[in-house]
Amino acid sequence: MRLYTLGVLLLIAPAGCLRQADAFARKGARLGCKRIEACNNDFFETEYSGDASLCRDDIENNSQFSFDALEAMGCTYQPDEARACIRATRRNKDTCGDEADAEIDDACRDVFDCSDAGP
């Protein structure tokens, strides 16, 4: 079974440099915060006081925590899927709505492969 991890967005180093999950987390955080600012500015202002660096740090840390948990379960990071996720997130960084959400979710669903993970 493959787990979907983009609530991460997140979301997440140029797309060619996404060989490691930490680069994916960094890039996703940057793009995710741009999207939060564009699509949910009230939340961005309330949660992060309009400070993009606070937003990026928060999302990157939460993403890394999730990735560590997935890897501990036996899931494996898929760099090609991460690049596809970043491309979809970049395309939609200023686009709000269900259609954009679905495109990002679909593209990011397989960033971690848990098909060989234990029970």
The residue among 22, 115, 101 whose CA lies nearest residue 64 is: 22
pLDDT of residue 86: 94
β-sheet with 2-3: strand ranges across: 2-3, 112-113, 76-77
Per-residue pLDDT of 4-46, as tens digits, reads: 333 443 333 333 444 588 889 999 999 999 999 999 999 999 9
Say how far apart CA 113 and CA 91 lie, in whole Å: 24
- Residues contacting 16, CB < 8 A, separation 6+: 83
pLDDT at 118: 66
* Mean pLDDT value across the chain: 84
Pick from 8-22, 46-60, 79-93: least confident? 8-22
Question: Cα(115)–Cα(99) distance, rounded to whole angstroms?
Answer: 28
CA atoms within 13 A on the CB side of 36: 28
Torsion from C-alpha of 46, 49, 53, 58, nearest 10 degrees: -30
Structure tokens at 65: 């925590």
Task: Tell me the mean pLDDT in the region 40-59.
Answer: 95
Q: What is the pTM of this model?
A: 0.78
pLDDT grade, residue 117 (50/70/90)? Answer: confident
Q: Where are the domains of the chain?
A: 2-7+21-113
Percent of the chain having pLDDT more than 90? 70
